[in-house]
Structure 1
Amino acid sequence: MRSVFLTATAVGLLTSLAACGTTADTPKPAATGSPGTATGGMPQAGSIAWGACTDIVQPDGEAPATPNSALQCAKLAVPLDYAAPEGESLDLALIRVPATGPGKRLGSLVFNFGGPGASGVDTMAQAAKAFESLNTRWDLVSFDPRGVERSAGVRCGNGADMDTFTSMNTQPVNPETRAKMAAANKQFTELCARDSGRVLPYVGTVNAAQDMDRLRTALGDAKLNYFGMSYGTQLGGVYATKFPKNVGRMVLDAPLDPSVTLEQRTVVQTAGFQKAYQSFLKDCVKQVCELGPDVAAADRNVGKLMNDLTAKPLKVGQRDLTQGLASTAVAAALYSDLTWPLLETALAQGMAGNGESLLYLADSYTGRKPNGTYTTAMTSFPAITCVDTAERPDAAELLRTEEKALKISPLFGGPGAGSLCGVWPAPGSDEARHVDATGSAPIVVVAGKGDPATPYQWGPKLTAQLKTATLVTYEGEGHGAYLSGSRCVQGVVNSYLNDGRVPQKGASCPAA
């Protein structure tokens, strides 16, 4: 899910990872050194010049005083346009955590943490410890995909512009709100075209999949071993479709169904977040809940807070907590049940006139840093999403989608669903919406029953489309199963990645 001014409901980052740190402000490569390939040429095996990581961003938005010696960074040149591979290139920023041993090294395990728009460089730097059971025999590798952060990251105006866009209210739902949303979308796309027009046509998932095959070659691996989360499952599926014979061991956690329309995605995800919100309220009132004595009362109090913020934002220092930002904060905290206590406290504080915690949650989601600048999370997301679909919905289609979403959830439904792609300044293609990995090695898909952002039904659908995949069902809450705390899920995935044991058909794991 991303800010409603962009798409109302769309796939977002794993909150558990976002809490560890987001992306960097500078679009420069992470470290100097040979790019590993001449412009347009294929990289040579093992040709990446790894060096120190100098610009990793910490959870507080600040770069570390001294580099982490366990991390290695580099860059890899790839064609800007694969239709003209000898032409202009762009540099992909890479990061590696070398295998720690003991045991025979298995090769490189490449990660994409979702979004689209998550910085693999910063996320891997902050989250590598979560994968230490894999790091003994695998080099953990990630990258900023094209259009993200250091890899020609898409920019659309400055921090003040982004503050305006991310703080927009979605209530009340009326012609005036819709008109404001339309005007904001027009201004946003004009800024994107002005600041990043060179790369906008080339940031889609199909090109990113081709980049990953270049990365595989440069790493010296005969096969791509891959761990994709959320949007990373679509990237993995597209890779397996284009390069089935190059697939090694591939895990797709929190899967997308790439075939869904913008309308279908909005409706399903709105329902997913509403379900997670109701689960949060039910969990809250099991004991003493600061929001109300029962689910109905707590829901009314949250609704009242949103209405109050629509009429008058809360001052937080020099900033305003708007209804739009508060709704974003709620969505951010629903990605994992580990953040439900924080959400309860933040909402209760908001009801008491203190919006600081809600603003913190919203900022962690939108990628706003303490200095007022933003990561590319909110700008890379629509750039990649809109290039990955040929859909350009008209006003009637948008209104129909809005009405369906609002019937499901007044909190998470609202105007603007899909509207940004309708005015996006680069053309889109449906190639990334069709996957078929026939001929690949076995792929493992892990889907959670309580996942709000990538609802469970997308797991069986992606599994069927890939044709070479096995589905593992996780019965618990949260976006992403591997990092949920489930030892069962980690055991199944680790056994497959480390030892090649493919899960049995119908495999499942209980809630953590």
Structure 2
Amino acid sequence: MPIPRRRAAMAALASVALLTATLGACSDTKAEDLPSQKLSWKSCPAPDAAQGGGEAPGKEWECAGMKAPLSWDDPKGDTIDLALIRAKASEKGQRIGSLLFNFGGPGGSGVLTLPAFGEDYAKLRTRYDLVSFDPRGVGRSAPVKCEDDAQLDAYYQQDSTPDDAAEEQTLVEGVKTFNGACEEKSGKVLPHVRTTDAARDMDLMRQVLGDDKLHYFGISYGTELGGVYAHLFPKNVGRTVFDAVVDPTQTPEQGSLGQAKGFQRALENYAKDCTSKVEDCPVGDTAEEVQTKIAGLLKELDAKPLPGAGERKLTQTTATNGIAQSLYSQDFWPYLTEGLEQAYDGDGKILMTLSDSMNGRSPDGSYSNIQAANISINCSDDKPRYTVADVKAKLPEFRKVSPLFGDYLAWGMVSCTDWAVPGASDHPDVSAGGSAPIVVVGNTGDPATPYEGAKKMVDALGKGVGVELTYKGQGHGAYDSGNKCVQDAVNGYLLDGRSPAAGTVCG
């Protein structure tokens, strides 16, 4: 499975899990009435098992459903319900409007994520209603469904870095079975989960929420979604921030190669940090030794998996997945150290827990639909369909940029093989001439959306639109790092309309 371009899970290692619902048709709402529909805001329910469990968000949070066309090509046809959540502005007399969030993935539930990280945006809430949503195909918004929990346990145990023809065939058959399950269970919605569809949904939200302009905060894949929105509706762009920026100019192959570089860079930064501490690094004496020992562990796991969680084993693939998850945030580095130390002693539980978090698996064994949605949206967006021969031809290049993650990310390119819906394009169009300024924040240590993508986004948006801001830090994203310089710059723009100087650097 490809590594999602999304923010890290919560520090408690809770999965970013999603609500479930069914796709429904609505015959009593005409297409021309959709922008004038009235939302019925109510107290939010507690997350159910598919969402990961837990308590309902605080009383300041309200939830509602918004109707949108199933197909934007046939707006008078069936409709779907999109799940929204909001917390009203705390200073009503200073209210600017709504600030819409998308936290990435694709496949992440904004209904779940926004209240979980709500305190991070308390300053912004003084003048905005904070709003987020489950994009179509995600959570409660006509969710894509594929394999069941038991099947997913088996799917994630398979070897995703095959070493011979038999393993290659097993991987391809597993992908084909998974993709076939998506078509069988979600065939009605699969053609309608492209990023362009979600962008049109956002403009409908803007109208329903009563805003003349869309004020927007996009994180990770949310920056791609925001860029597509700006391309489609440049005159409707309000104060907008992109954080953890996806490179919109890359093909899926180039994006995977970029992630290999990004995760390798993050691993090297982790190793240097661990070995530079005053106390001894428990997983190696030098940065080079840390990486050598990790590579050795993965090779051993390929031949003999370790006990993981329950009957599931820590395989080479699940260990790599767990290591990647821990690199999303510097706050996770201690978990990686502990997990590696534990694995060297023959216990794979911590690395397995990290891998489960990446895959959206809750402790009770239930899965969210984050990966099903991730695959569905990516395969609907991305035109290329890569074969085993394509991957094998590219493996040397991937291995060169990342000895640890190269194979893993190269083989992830076969995920859209035999997908039921043709992909839209090689890469998204985000050109947005005439748009208001968009602040584009890149993090030099970002593993999932490497720093170089920020400059590419600025250039692609067009002259006078993108305003680049650099954060010299670690982890996926910058605003939630707590860096005062970044937060002051972003808050200054969103709250007061003061765009930072292009090229500003925060350390």
TM interval, shorter chain, is over 0.9
What is residue 81 of structure 1 aligned with on the other side?
71
| One-letter identity of the residue aligned with 1:310 | D
What is residue 335 of structure 2 aligned with on the other side?
342
Cα offset for 1:21? 5.3
| One-letter identity of the residue aligned with 1:150 | R
What is residue 431 of structure 2 aligned with on the other side?
436
Is it true that 1:471 corresponds to 2:468 in the alignment?
yes
Cα offset for 1:440? 1.0
1:84 to 1:190, Cα distance in 2 relative to 1, 3 A: same
What is residue 482 of structure 1 aligned with on the other side?
479
Q: TM-score, normalising length from structure 2? A: 0.94
Structure 1 residues 5-16: aligned runs within 5 Å: 6-7=1-2, 9=3, 11-15=5-9
SS of residue matched to 1:43: helix
| One-letter identity of the residue aligned with 2:5 | V
| One-letter identity of the residue aligned with 1:421 | C
1:40 to 1:132, Cα distance in 2 relative to 1, 3 A: same
What is residue 91 of structure 1 aligned with on the other side?
81
Verify the 8 A CA contact 1:155 1:379 in the aligned structure 2.
yes
What is residue 203 of structure 2 aligned with on the other side?
213
Which segment is superposed worse, 180-189 or 398-407?
Answer: 398-407
| One-letter identity of the residue aligned with 2:474 | E
1:125 to 1:67, Cα distance in 2 relative to 1, 3 A: closer
Query: In structure 2, how many angstroms separate the alpha carbons of the residues matched to 1:208 and 1:18?
Result: 30
What is residue 423 of structure 1 aligned with on the other side?
418
What is residue 118 of structure 2 aligned with on the other side?
128
Verify the 8 A CA contact 2:138 2:373 in the aligned structure 1.
yes
What is residue 194 of structure 2 aligned with on the other side?
204
SS of residue matched to 2:373: helix
Cα offset for 1:94? 0.4
Cα offset for 1:380? 0.6
| One-letter identity of the residue aligned with 1:416 | W
Query: In structure 1, how many angstroms separate the alpha carbons of the residues matched to 2:93 and 2:444?
Result: 35
What is residue 32 of structure 1 aligned with on the other side?
none
What is residue 303 of structure 1 aligned with on the other side?
295
What is residue 371 of structure 1 aligned with on the other side?
364
SS of residue matched to 2:129: strand
Which segment is superposed worse, 91-100 or 170-179?
Answer: 170-179
Is it true that 1:290 corresponds to 2:282 in the alignment?
yes
- How big is each residue's C-alpha offset from its partner over 1:453-495, in whole Å with a ceiling of 9 and x where there is no partner? 1111111111011121111011111110101121110110000
Verify the 8 A CA contact 1:46 1:220 in the aligned structure 2.
no
What is residue 275 of structure 1 aligned with on the other side?
265
Query: In structure 1, how many angstroms separate the alpha carbons of the residues matched to 2:190 and 2:98?
Result: 30
Is it true that 1:360 corresponds to 2:350 in the alignment?
no
Query: In structure 2, how many angstroms separate the alpha carbons of the residues matched to 1:399 and 1:39?
Result: 51
What is residue 40 of structure 2 aligned with on the other side?
49
Query: In structure 2, how many angstroms separate the alpha carbons of the residues matched to 1:20 and 1:140?
Result: 22
Verify the 8 A CA contact 1:80 1:88 in the aligned structure 2.
yes
| One-letter identity of the residue aligned with 1:365 | M
What is residue 26 of structure 1 aligned with on the other side?
20
What is residue 455 of structure 1 aligned with on the other side?
450
What is residue 393 of structure 1 aligned with on the other side?
386
SS of residue matched to 2:406: coil
Q: TM-score, normalising length from structure 1? A: 0.93
Verify the 8 A CA contact 2:248 2:456 in the aligned structure 1.
no
Is it true that 1:320 corresponds to 2:310 in the alignment?
no
What is residue 3 of structure 1 aligned with on the other side?
none
Cα offset for 1:308? 2.3
| One-letter identity of the residue aligned with 1:367 | G
Query: In structure 2, how many angstroms separate the alpha carbons of the residues matched to 1:49 and 1:280?
Result: 47
Query: In structure 2, how many angstroms separate the alpha carbons of the residues matched to 1:402 and 1:504?
Result: 41
Structure 1 residues 122-201: aligned runs within 5 Å: 122-171=112-161, 173-201=163-191
| One-letter identity of the residue aligned with 1:436 | S
Query: In structure 2, how many angstroms separate the alpha carbons of the residues matched to 1:509 and 1:61?
Result: 36
Query: In structure 1, how many angstroms separate the alpha carbons of the residues matched to 2:7 and 2:156?
Result: 16
1:54 to 1:87, Cα distance in 2 relative to 1, 3 A: same
| One-letter identity of the residue aligned with 2:403 | P
Count of residues in Structure 1 that have an aligned counterpart in Structure 2 = 499
Is it true that 1:403 corresponds to 2:386 in the alignment?
no
Cα offset for 1:319? 2.2
Cα offset for 1:222? 0.7
Is it true that 1:491 corresponds to 2:488 in the alignment?
yes
1:232 to 1:412, Cα distance in 2 relative to 1, 3 A: same
| One-letter identity of the residue aligned with 2:482 | G
Verify the 8 A CA contact 2:14 2:362 in the aligned structure 1.
no
- How big is each residue's C-alpha offset from its partner over 1:166-220, in whole Å with a ceiling of 9 and x where there is no partner? 2222345332332221111111111111111111111000000000001111101
Which segment is superposed worse, 256-265 or 306-315?
Answer: 306-315
- Alignment RMSD (CA, Å): 2.3
Which segment is superposed worse, 50-59 or 454-463?
Answer: 50-59
Query: In structure 1, how many angstroms separate the alpha carbons of the residues matched to 2:247 and 2:130?
Result: 26
1:100 to 1:442, Cα distance in 2 relative to 1, 3 A: same
Cα offset for 1:367? 0.3
Structure 1 residues 244-263: aligned runs within 5 Å: 244-263=234-253
Verify the 8 A CA contact 2:248 2:457 in the aligned structure 1.
yes
* 2:95 alignment partner, one of 105, 122, 126: 105
Query: In structure 2, how many angstroms separate the alpha carbons of the residues matched to 1:58 and 1:162?
Result: 16
Verify the 8 A CA contact 1:333 1:343 in the aligned structure 2.
yes
| One-letter identity of the residue aligned with 2:501 | Q
- How big is each residue's C-alpha offset from its partner over 1:41-81, in whole Å with a ceiling of 9 and x where there is no partner? 343457211111114369992142x6631110000110111
More helix by proportion, 1 or 2? Answer: 2
Query: In structure 2, how many angstroms separate the alpha carbons of the residues matched to 1:496 and 1:307?
Result: 49
Verify the 8 A CA contact 1:153 1:380 in the aligned structure 2.
yes
| One-letter identity of the residue aligned with 2:331 | L
Which segment is superposed worse, 205-214 or 177-186?
Answer: 177-186
| One-letter identity of the residue aligned with 1:485 | G
Verify the 8 A CA contact 1:21 1:123 in the aligned structure 2.
no
SS of residue matched to 2:282: coil
Query: In structure 1, how many angstroms separate the alpha carbons of the residues matched to 2:146 and 2:37?
Result: 36
Query: In structure 1, how many angstroms separate the alpha carbons of the residues matched to 2:330 and 2:491?
Result: 23
Percent identity (aligned):
41
Query: In structure 2, how many angstroms separate the alpha carbons of the residues matched to 1:75 and 1:144?
Result: 10
Query: In structure 1, how many angstroms separate the alpha carbons of the residues matched to 2:233 and 2:51?
Result: 39
Verify the 8 A CA contact 1:14 1:480 in the aligned structure 2.
no
Query: In structure 2, how many angstroms separate the alpha carbons of the residues matched to 1:18 and 1:504?
Result: 36
1:200 to 1:26, Cα distance in 2 relative to 1, 3 A: same
